[in-house]
Amino acid sequence: MIKSIQSVFLGFLFLAPLQGADEKASRPPNVLMICIDDLNDWVGFLGGHPDVKTPHMDLLAKQGRNFTNAHCVVPVCSPSRVSVMSGLHATTHGSYDLGPSYQSIQRLDDVPCIQAYFKGQGYRTLSGGKILHHGFTGYLKDAIDVNLGGHGGPRPKKQMNWPGGAWDWGPFPESDEEMADYRLAKNAATALKQKHEKPFFMSVGIFRPHVPMFVPQKWFDLYDRDKIALPKAPLSDLTDLPPNFNRRLNIEPTQAEVREKGDWRGMVHAYLACVSFADMCVGTILEGLSEGPNKDNTIIVLWSDHGFHLGEKQHWAKRTLWEESTRTPMIIAGPGISRGKGCREAVSLLDIYPTLVDLCDLPKNKHLEGLSLSPQLNDPLAPRKVPVISTSYYENHAIRTKDWRYIRYADGAEELYDHRKDPDEFTNLAKHPDHLERKQALAKWLPKNAAPEVKTLDDRGQGK
């Protein structure tokens, strides 16, 4: 049962006595999972934007393994998170868009979410902010012992810079303390400073830089609006692209709309401000960990649910199968994990669940479809022998290896990019005769018999 945030702190009054040395040695590690919503590679440790300031996450990357080629399962919030928490690919669970919650997907009835699995193995589970898009409601309530609070921040009463909807942005509110994301980070830090009777699994979901891009003025002031670099978005990039599923991408503004109605530079500025705010929240959480008794026995995993376009390929936000949309930060740090070296192997957010089960030495969960990254945590050059598959909408897939991206859309159209020479994916090589064999080899990994789409909460007639 979820406790209210007030009772969280009362809970800390009943703390375990100090452990003896033997007990401490045999106790499995704690897990601190931090996920950040819609954070792309605009972080110092991935080098995606020359001006971005993310000192806290950069330090964490230096202290653990920085997976520089990590990708989501689905480039949109809900199914991406369902895949991380269930350990199943979208082509197995059938959620490809925002509609269905974990609880409403029949194929997941027997698949414990990662929090429930760890709880079943004796862990205390704490969670706050945006972890599952639809929350831990219904039967998933039991997966979480302690609720650490909500996420996001307030919105101004009047629009500031964008005509209505979710895409407004600007300096608001006045202080960090008014932001639920910051209060959540403080609550997590408080909990991390405590001793816990059992090993804990804490998941904290920071909502910014997700739109609306409102954070206090001081985060905007970190950047010189007139000097920040804008993304590379040449119109000529579109000439070698198939039409793919453009008509479905009407949720977010197009680059033409941004140019017409808005302020591209201002929105890039706002995103950078929100990223630095999120970084401060991460720093607040990690400071709590470093000041408490759990710092030497806690595995930290930091990730984002997908990437984010800010005009590249004339696109905004997510849902595409290009690098900007599928690539996410992923850092794993903690006891026994060597420091500093990045791993260039293509890895999936699907790997988080089996990796944590492995690192905590828990019994294998037979459902999991990702791979443990223990080999890459031991040696960043260790190969991950299968490529990563990202899926957007039914039957559109991207296959990512260390050096290549191959995209096959439901209508048969293809794209192929060589990341050794073309990290911006400007040149589509799919029709080049030199690459026929490579394309065929990559196409062998395309999922077969993808699960039909579970579309809405009501597909089971109960919407639970």
Name the minimum Å distance from CB 73 to Ca ion.
Answer: 12
Site membership for Ca ion, residue 38 (CB under 5 A) = yes
Query: Among candidates 357, 333, 332, which has minimal Cα distance to 347?
Result: 332
Site stretch for Ca ion (CB under 5 A), options 29-37, 40-48, 329-337, 354-362: 29-37
Site stretch for Ca ion (CB under 5 A), options 58-66, 147-155, 266-274, 418-426: 418-426
Decide: 57 and 282 in contact? Cβ < 8 Å. Answer: yes
Q: Which of 35, 77, 274, 343 is catalytic?
A: 77
Site membership for Ca ion, residue 77 (CB under 5 A) = yes
- In the bound state with Ca ion, the residue whose beta carbon lies nearer, of 119 and 327, is 327
133 is annotated as an active-site residue: yes
Q: How far is residue 20's CA from residue 385's CA, in Å, rounded to a whole number?
A: 42
Residues 144-163 that bind Ca ion (CB under 5 A): none
Decide: 231 and 285 in contact? Cβ < 8 Å. Answer: no
> Which residues are paired to 34 by β-bridges?
204, 302
Residue located via tokens 């680059």: 255
Pairing label, strands 330-333, 298-304 = antiparallel
- In the bound state with Ca ion, the residue whose beta carbon lies nearer, of 200 and 271, is 271
Residues 199-238 that bind Ca ion (CB under 5 A): 237
Q: Which of 56, 71, 93, 133 is catalytic?
A: 133
72 is annotated as an active-site residue: no
Q: How far is residue 306's CA from residue 75's CA, in Å, rounded to a whole number?
A: 5
Query: Among candidates 347, 408, 406, which has minimal Cα distance to 374?
Result: 347
CA 224-228-231 angle, to 5 degrees, is: 160
Site membership for Ca ion, residue 61 (CB under 5 A) = no
Site membership for Ca ion, residue 142 (CB under 5 A) = no
Name the minimum Å distance from CB 46 to Ca ion.
Answer: 17
Site membership for Ca ion, residue 181 (CB under 5 A) = no
- In the bound state with Ca ion, the residue whose beta carbon lies nearer, of 37 and 97, is 37
Site membership for Ca ion, residue 422 (CB under 5 A) = no
Residue type, 200: F
- In the bound state with Ca ion, the residue whose beta carbon lies nearer, of 280 and 430, is 430
Residue located via tokens 């699960």: 451
Q: How far is residue 187's CA from residue 137's CA, in Å, rounded to a whole number?
A: 21
Decide: 394 and 450 in contact? Cβ < 8 Å. Answer: yes
- In the bound state with Ca ion, the residue whose beta carbon lies nearer, of 343 and 416, is 416
Q: Which positions from 293 to 332 touch Ca ion by CB under 5 A, shown as an x/- string?
A: ------------x---------------------------
- In the bound state with Ca ion, the residue whose beta carbon lies nearer, of 93 and 208, is 208
Decide: 343 and 69 in contact? Cβ < 8 Å. Answer: yes
Which residues are designated catalytic?
A: 77, 133
Q: Which residues here bind Ca ion, judged by CB under 5 A?
A: 37-38, 77, 237, 240, 305, 426
